[in-house]
Amino acid sequence: MATATKTKSALKAKTVMANLTVNDVQQSIRFFEGLGFAVDEQWEDQGKVLGVTLRAGDAQIGLMQDDWRKGRNRLKGIGMRVFIGTAQDIDEIAARAEEAGIPLDSKPHDTEWGSRAFDLTEPSGFKLTISSDV
């Protein structure tokens, strides 16, 4: 079995933000608002929303409307997962998401590493896990 080696980090990052290219930016905004995110910034062209930055606490996520230059049948979210950590009650967050009409891929559950988490899929196919702090 391969083991990971720890190395000293040269970069001292304070934040990292995923920017997702989505099929329907308005639908994705509603999805993230249902999870408790709020629109922080918005970009428009002739009254049409092209992208937003959403914020939940100190975390941010960007959404951009797909321009379809790489094809309309392009799969999204393959090989990646967005993890969102919080000190809040995971069961309450999951219940609020379901009340907002967001289907869960997995109900809140205890993880083998000592947190509580649930999984869901953003409308374009991006996978998310919302987890309590360990």
Domains in the chain, please, with CATH?
18-67+75-132 (3.10.180.10)
C-alpha of 40 from chain center: 15
What is d(CA 126, CA 25) in angstroms, rounded to the nearest whole number?
13
Per-residue model confidence (pLDDT) at position 1 = 58
In percent, the amount of the chain with pLDDT more than 70 equals 96
pLDDT tens string 24-35 = 999 999 999 999
Beta strands (DSSP E) in 33-123 are: 38-45, 48-56, 59-65, 81-86, 104-110, 116-121
pLDDT tens string 48-95 = 999 999 999 999 999 999 999 988 888 888 899 999 999 999 999 999
What is d(CA 87, CA 125) in angstroms, rounded to the nearest whole number?
26
What is d(CA 87, CA 46) in angstroms, rounded to the nearest whole number?
40
